[in-house]
Amino acid sequence: MNAPLPLQHWTTTRADADADADADPQETSEWRDAFLSLLQAHGPQRARFMLDELHRLASRAHIAWKPPMGTPYVNTIALRQQAPFPGDLALEESLGAIMRWNALAMVLRANAAYGELGGHIASYASAADLFEVGFNHFFHARDTTGGGHAGDLVFFQPHSAPGVYARAFLEGRLDQADLEHYRQELRGPRHGARGLSSYPHPYLMPDFWQFPTGSMGIGPISSIYQARFMRYLTHRGLVDCSRRKVWGVFGDGEMDEPESMSALTLAAREGLDNLVWVVNCNLQRLDGPVRGNSRIIDELEKLFLGAGWNVIKTLWGSDWDGLFARDYNGALSHALSDTVDGQMQTFAAKDGRFNREHFFGQNEDLERLAEGLSDEQIDLLRRGGHDLVKIHAAYAAAARHQGQPTVILAHTKKGYGMGEAGQGRMTTHSQKKFDHADLLAFRDRFKLPLTDAQVQGLEFYKPPGDSPAMRYLHERREKLGGYLPARQTGAAAVPVPELASYGRFATHSDGSREMSTTMAFVRMLGALLKDAALGPRIVPIVADEARTFGMANLFKQVGIYSSVGQRYEPEDIGSILNYREAMDGQILEEGISEAGAISSWVAAATSYSVHGAAMLPFYIYYSMFGFQRVGDLIWAAADQRPRGFLIGATSGRTTLAGEGLQHQDGTSHLWAATIPNCKAYDPAFACELAVILDRGMREMLVEQQDVFYYITTMNENYAHTALAEDVSDAILRGGYRYARHEAAGAAGGPAARGVTLLGSGAILTEVIKAARELAAMGIAADVLSITSWSELARDGASHLSARLAGEPRQGQPFIAGLLAACRGPVIAATDYVRLVPESIRAYVPDGCEYITLGTDGFGRSDTRAELRRFFNVDAEAIVNAALVSLGQGKRPPPAPRP
Ligand SMILES: Cc1ncc(C[n+]2csc(CCOP(=O)(O)OP(=O)(O)O)c2C)c(N)n1
């Protein structure tokens, strides 16, 4: 055990205060008296006005003074402002204690059985009371019968999941067998139980969790965009969300994530008073203190105030009220304000006696304050985040607050109640071993009605159904509309228009007009937006790239969403494409925040479940800034079973020519292929794109399948072909034979030789060119347009799995069938790394040489022709590969370009 540090090591000196020493105490006292009498006579509003007035005067006189952002280290809500606690304190505390026990037992049992399973106790120990006040008084469930409250959205701190399961057990939503299979999602079902996910995962527990939070930072940013999306739905008259709130409980360590911070000003700018964050400030993260040498709560207070949030600090429990009331000269609040978090953690880990000696022993004033308290009482002094009354007062104030989002900085102890075993310990985050004495101490600390043997056996405890505690538990939830968390999926299907109504130009192209697939996409989107049923459900999302993708015409057509309309006359007013912001605007223009834009996409793509109203988001972006930039957010999106389209525009490493290394995407199809519910396509022609869009919309909106689509589109203009008969199904399965080029020359001559060329996206044009050249050279060439490498690979893998499992499976992999009908060696070329076409190698028929060409390496800026030559994916390189594979030797290198 460390020896206590000398006081000067962890208290700051009053040197700063001395620098501002009072030159005229008499005058100071007159000003103070004047202010206090104003406050007494005319109240706080007038006092605030006067301070503002003085501030204005000071600014006009260029006196460099700003009010300090932070406030003293005390509760924001004064005792006299505290709303009365409406619940039964004793029952709520005893229920909370039972949940703490069951959560602890669940983690310890899992680890006793299988030491490798892991699990956490200390985070929930600190968050339990924060959750319970929400569950008993604030978190509304969705009334699916209609008419009632449409439900709040609650984000739970991930490592506290055991506590949420423990509550669901008492509520009868999970049973003992489920709790016995915590973190055993494969074993559980074999034993007639649900395996409980480690963290909130809607994919794995689709009727339970709504929002995945296990990856730090994703919960915070998602909660902001969900709150904003609720405003969007309300302003557009689609769903009235005006009574609903988003609550998020997050960690103080988690606040360091860029995602946690990046949208704070958006929440304030949008006045999201439907959003409440509760930051569980237990002052610890995984390795140690969040800010050992300063105070995270001070830092967060200033940060959130600066960003425009309403900040409520809930630092000290009710048993401190008496101490503060007797703190006449501010000794207590000074001492607290001078204690850095590392030391505060040490105080949390030590007993009452230590705290008397080392905290209250700092000076005579503090000693006097503690005189009436026993060591045990000092030990039990609660931090604000463990006092149901204080938490309730903060939540009530937050729920009432208008015009701003609120953050509650709740001071807690990590491992609260874990005693010697873990409270405030450096190692507490992953602590999951308790000896018998620790468990007995835990039982006594929380007054649990368990015998020694029950404690020893880590028995779960549930009071009888008709006990006052259980009746209270259910009554509270009934009052709030039902149980939480709960994920619903019942949304009405949305009719999708016939493809011909918006995509005829693509399916019947006569090849006379050149265009890019991005242009084709935008044209179809514009037409879909006009459809009476589907149009209003579409949510176009951009991150400051609408003009890049030729979408400026949509600004006027459907408007850009703005919660305040348009308060300025746009510079381009009167032009046919003018910049139009409107309260019922449809486009979400997220500015330069891919993390924000994808979070908006998730909010819209999960609206069918979160709001019972299906929406169809299209987020269109530079494909390089998708999976690579916000891959973890897309992974978390997949966990939520989203339905919508991600459009990776200007994709490929040579097609977006001039932009160079950082913009050229050669890998997004690799990432997309790893996400099981993501269907990824790389169409070359507008007609292929149309077929894919049509199928995707039907799959997601009509059949209501839990899939989402990733489609790459390009900015290269070329002529487009019409949709051939009977290829739609093959387009969706991943590829079809686009053309067969017979060899020039006499039958039986060179024409006997042939090759098969595969290409996707914009590189298909090079493949087609190569096929023509080869045919002219007397080599027959079949061209396959590959629309989805990953769908082909998945189909192949499913055949293999069936084979390995000894299941009879009809036929062969789809790609094997396509290639069986073709000739010669197979050459594949794409604008992506070679691993993309390599993904189907296992399904190429035996004896068939398979050569892949791709854009491995760093991108460059130059013309498309130069880049394709550089990466060896142009027609020349494809012809060369064909010749080499046919044993005709390498083609002489082309003459250098001028
Ligand atoms: C993106 C990401 N990085 C790292 C982790 C690993 N991790 C899990 S919990 C944790 C510490 C959390 O600290 P805090 O937010 O303060 O919550 P507490 O458990 O202390 O309440 C870390 C680093 C993670 N889950 N996600």
Average pLDDT score, the chain: 93
* C-alpha pair distances (Å), 817 with each of 271, 681, 796, 807, 811: 58, 20, 11, 20, 8
User: Quick one: average pLDDT of 863-883?
Assistant: 96
Which residue's alpha carbon is nearest to atom 13 within ligand 1? 285
Query: Distance from the CA of 415 to the center of ligand 1, in angstroms?
Result: 14
Which stretch of 62-71, 482-491, 749-758 has the lowest confidence by average pLDDT?
A: 749-758
Least Cα distance to 499 among 520, 469, 477, 470 occurs for 520
pLDDT at res. 6 = 44
**DSSP bridge partners of 248:** 155, 277
pLDDT at position 821 is 82
Q: List, chain by chain if needed, residues with CB within 6 Å of any ligand 1 atom.
A: 123, 126, 159, 214-217, 251-254, 280, 282, 284-286, 290, 414, 429
Q: Tell me, in angstroms, the distance from the centre of ligand 1 to residue 638's CA.
A: 21
Q: Mean per-residue pLDDT for 522-529? A: 98
Q: 28: exposed, middle or buried (C-beta count within 10 Å: 0-12, 13-18, 19+)?
A: exposed
Ligand 1 atom at shortest distance from the alpha carbon of 122: 19
Quote the ligand 1 centre to 306 CA distance (angstroms).
25
The proportion of the chain whose per-residue pLDDT surpasses 90, expressed as a percent, equals: 86
The closest-lying atom of ligand 1 relative to the alpha carbon of residue 120 is: 19
Q: pLDDT at residue 476 above 90?
A: yes
- With the most atoms of ligand 1 within 8 angstroms of its CB, the residue from 285, 341, 428 to mutate is 285
pTM of the model: 0.94
Torsion angle of C-alpha atoms 295, 298, 303, 308, degrees rounded to 10: 160
Q: Which of 367, 309, 721, 696 is nearest to 499 (CA)?
A: 696
Does pLDDT of 478 surpass 90? Answer: yes
* Lowest model confidence (mean pLDDT) among 112-126, 278-292, 509-523: 112-126
Q: What average pLDDT score do residues 386-406 get?
A: 98
CB atoms closer than 10 angstroms to residue 335:
19
How far does the centroid of ligand 1 lie from the alpha carbon of residue 461, in Å? 29
How far away, in angstroms, is 254 Cα from ligand 1 center? 6
Q: What b-and-e string marks burial along 423-437, b requiring 16 or more CB atoms within 10 Å of the CB?
A: bbbeebbebbebeee
Task: Determine which of 91-95, 433-437, 568-572, 808-812 has the lowest per-residue pLDDT on average.
Answer: 808-812
Task: For residue 136, report the distance from its CA to the centre of ligand 1, in Å.
Answer: 26
Q: How confident is the model at residue 747 (pLDDT cuts 50, 70, 90)?
A: low
Q: Provide the pLDDT confidence category of residue 752 given band limits of 50, 70 and 90.
A: low
pLDDT at 650: 93
397: CA distance to ligand 1 center in Å?
28
Which among 20, 73, 65, 3 is positioned nearest to 294, based on CA atoms? 73
Our mutation pick for probing the ligand 1 site, out of 216, 260, 412, 432, counting the most ligand atoms within 8 A of Cβ, is: 216
What is the distance in A from the centroid of ligand 1 to the CA of 493?
Answer: 39
Say yes or no to pLDDT of 230 above 70: yes
Structural contact between residues 314 and 279, judged by C-beta atoms closer than 8 angstroms: no
Q: Cα–chain-centroid distance for residue 786? A: 32
Nearest CA to ligand 1 atom 23: 286
At 350 the three-state DSSP class reads coil
Phi, psi of 25 (to 5 degrees): -60, -30
Taking only Cα atoms into account, the Rg of the chain, rounded to an integer number of angstroms, comes to 32
The verdict on whether residue 677 carries a ligand-binding annotation is: no
Could you identify the atom of ligand 1 that is nearest to the CA of residue 253? Answer: 16
* Contact status, residue 886 vs residue 779, Cβ threshold 8 Å: yes
Element (H, E) at 161: helix 161-170
* Residue 252 annotated as part of some ligand binding site: yes
- Six-digit token string for 104: 């602890």
User: Which atom of ligand 1 lies at the shortest distance from residue 127's CA?
Assistant: 21
CA distance 306 to 300: 10
Measured from the Cα of 280, ligand 1's closest atom is 21
Task: Kindly indicate the confidence band of residue 20, based on its pLDDT and cuts at 50, 70 and 90.
Answer: low
Distance 359 CA to ligand 1 centre (A): 29
How far apart are the CA of 249 and the centre of ligand 1, in A?
13
Looking at the CA of residue 632, tell me the nearest atom of ligand 1.
1
What's the mean pLDDT in 494-499?
Answer: 98
Q: Mean pLDDT throughout 857-876?
A: 96
Q: Look at ligand 1, atom 7, and give the residue with the nearest C-alpha.
A: 286
Residue 751 clears pLDDT 80, i.e. is over it: no
- Please report which confidence band the pLDDT of residue 9 belongs to, taking 50, 70 and 90 as the band edges: very low
Phi/psi of residue 154, each to 5°? -120, 125
- Band of residue 11 on the pLDDT scale cut at 50, 70, 90: very low
Residue 251 has pLDDT above 60, yes or no: yes
For a mutational test of ligand 1's pocket, the pick from 197, 254, 279, i.e. the residue with the most ligand atoms closer than 8 A to its C-beta, is 254
Cα of 409 vs centre of ligand 1, distance in Å, is 17
More confident residue, 291 or 431: 291
Are residues 677 and 468 in contact, defined by beta-carbon separation less than 8 angstroms? no
The closest-lying atom of ligand 1 relative to the alpha carbon of residue 286 is: 11
Instruction: Set out the domains of the chain in order of their start, with CATH numbers.
Output: 79-317+382-479 (3.40.50.970), 499-719 (3.40.50.970), 738-885 (3.40.50.920)
pLDDT in tens, 795-837: 999 999 999 999 877 789 999 999 998 889 999 999 999 999 9
Specify the residue for token string 């988690």. Answer: 254
Question: Do the Cβ atoms of 685 and 785 come closer than 8 Å?
Answer: yes
Q: Which residues contact 770 (CB under 8 A, 6 or more apart)?
A: 757, 781, 875, 876, 878, 879, 882
Tokens 């699990």 correspond to 119
DSSP string, 469-512: HHHHHHHHHHHTTS-SS-------------HHHHHHHHHT--S-
SS3 content of the chain, % helix, strand, coil (to 5): 45, 10, 40
Instruction: Consult the annotation and say whether 553 binds a ligand.
Output: no
The reported pLDDT for the residue numbered 798 is 96
Ligand 1, residue 159: give the atom nearest the CA: 19
Mutate to test the pocket of ligand 1, among 256, 291, 297, 429 (most ligand atoms within 8 A of CB): 429
- 155-161: average pLDDT: 96
Residue 750 — very low, low, confident or very high, per pLDDT cuts 50/70/90? very low
